[in-house]
Amino acid sequence: MTSLESAVNKRRWWKEVLFVLAFYVVYARIRNQFGSNGLFAATTTTAADNARRVIDFEKKIGLFFEERLQEAFLGWDWFLWFWNVFYGSLHFVVTIGAGIFLYRRFPARYLKYRTGLGITTALGLVGFATFPLMPPRLLSSPPPYGGGMTDFAFIDTLAVHGGLWSFDSGTLQAISNQWAAMPSLHLAWAAWCAIALVPVLKSPWTRAAMWLYPFATSFSIVVTANHYWIDGLAGLLVLVAGLQCASWFWKIRGSAGQAI
């Protein structure tokens, strides 16, 4: 048994659950102090201006396609409902499932990748704090959360086609950072699931499904107008940084094998 496996085995599962929950609560608390609400809230103008910067950059390189992509599916109610549910649910369900699987079957791998996911998520806070970004779905919505821009045709698919929950409830808008779009942790977490699981899965079908998952997530974040494609690229970059930092950390810890 390796030192990392020993570290996991010495930690009861309920302690690990409490650790992960505590981390997420702290992350969500910090995340919501920036952007559209909170102690360090940005202005609507700042979030809208940053959206313009992203769109202008994508246009400059000839890759502003999000509006056309969504428009192609606007008549498909069931299709957009599905992707609303996909976006809002699998982000947590698949990630939690991957973590439980690794914890039970590959404890050393779990510890390394759990650390990498934690660092990735923390790095995402830097983007949310320094670059509050109005997502496409809010561009034409009225302030304070929307930009009131009439030159974009994006729609909020969740508001129009429904799903299992809504961004538009007054309570959620009041407590959640509506401009936490850069980077996309949805794509970062999805890619994490694939990278963490594929090497240890035996079935070619499950491996293929896990590789497909981040691609499907990438489609979902754009077609639902929750992100620009460049948010997803930024999410992948913070994931690479997070996993590299985790690798360095465990190399430094070496034989200590203490779980954090």
CB 221 within 8 A of CB 187: yes
Residue with tokens 């990735």: 120
Angle at 36 between CA 31 and CA 40, to 5 degrees: 65
217 vs 149 pLDDT, higher one: 217
How much is the pLDDT for 7?
Answer: 57
| DSSP-assigned beta bridge partners for residue 35 | 41
Q: Is the pLDDT of residue 10 over 80?
A: no
| Strand segments (E) across 120-181 | none
Task: Phi first, then psi: give them for residue 35, nearest 5 degrees.
Answer: 80, -125
- For the chain, how are helix, strand and coil distributed in percent, rounded to 5? 70, 0, 30
Task: State pLDDT tens for residues 62-92.
Answer: 999 999 999 999 989 999 999 999 998 999 9
How much is the pLDDT for 8?
Answer: 58
User: Cα separation of 124 and 126, whole Å?
Assistant: 5
40 vs 180 pLDDT, higher one: 180
CB 231 within 8 A of CB 208: no
User: Cα separation of 260 and 243, whole Å?
Assistant: 15
How much is the pLDDT for 185?
Answer: 96
Task: State pLDDT tens for residues 146-192.
Answer: 888 889 999 999 888 877 766 554 445 555 788 999 999 999 999 99
Indicate the pTM of the whole model: 0.89
CB 91 within 8 A of CB 189: yes
